[in-house]
């Protein structure tokens, strides 16, 4: 359906309704997350559905979803309509799974780091933080990190 001028919002209107700075609106457009049309005077005008897209962007930032990954999410949405409940359900379910995986990863890191509290050995062989899963032990005997440096390679840190 063609959009009338009433359906289109200026940068300032979008910013005010979304509660963000006009520069953020332009930035999101530069990143390809929202799009506008131009007036005869070359001013940007946005369809109303960008407000929902910006809502998703704001949520993504809150949950630490990189904008590059958000672009992938938006690429799966129809370009010329607002994201609907079904879209948001799918996106939020995916993000929930990601947050859950990140939480488990942080718990594992926390447990590893807890072993270092009060230790201070900084042992490249026995410390689980410096040698996770005994990676150096699986590579065989000898000074793995020092050998890599002598060979001109970047010493491995994990």
Please give the residue ranges that form the binding site for ligand FES (CB under 6 A). Answer: 115-116, 119-123, 127, 129
Separation CA 62–CA 88 (nearest Å): 15
Q: How far is the CB of 146 from ligand FES (least distance, A)?
A: 19
Closer to ligand FES by Cβ: residue 20 or 129 = 129
CA-based Rg of the chain, rounded to a whole angstrom? 24
Report in angstroms how near the CB of residue 130 gets to ligand FES at its nearest: 6
Q: What angle do CA 83, 8, 48 make, to 5 degrees?
A: 20
Task: Name the minimum Å distance from CB 137 to ligand FES.
Answer: 15
Nearer to ligand FES, 119 or 143 (CB): 119
Question: By C-alpha distance, which of 16, 66, 69, 71 is closest to 46?
Answer: 16
């Amino acid at each position: 359906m063609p959009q009338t001028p009433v359906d289109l919002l200026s940068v300032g209107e979008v910013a005010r309704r979304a509660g963000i700075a006009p520069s953020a609106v332009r930035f999101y457009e530069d990143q390809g997350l929202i799009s506008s049309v131009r007036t005869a005077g070359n001013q940007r005008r946005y369809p109303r559905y960008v407000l929902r897209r910006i809502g998703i962007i704001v949520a993504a930032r809150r949950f630490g979803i990189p904008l590059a990954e958000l672009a992938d999410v938006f690429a799966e949405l129809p370009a010329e309509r607002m994201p609907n409940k079904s879209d948001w359900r799918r996106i939020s379910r995916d993000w929930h799974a990601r947050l859950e995986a990140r939480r488990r990863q942080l718990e594992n890191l926390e447990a590893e780091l807890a072993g270092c509290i009060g230790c201070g050995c900084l042992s490249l062989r026995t410390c689980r933080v410096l040698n996770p899963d005994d990676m150096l032990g699986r590579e065989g005997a000898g000074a793995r990190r020092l050998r890599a440096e002598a060979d001109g390679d970047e010493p491995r840190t994990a």
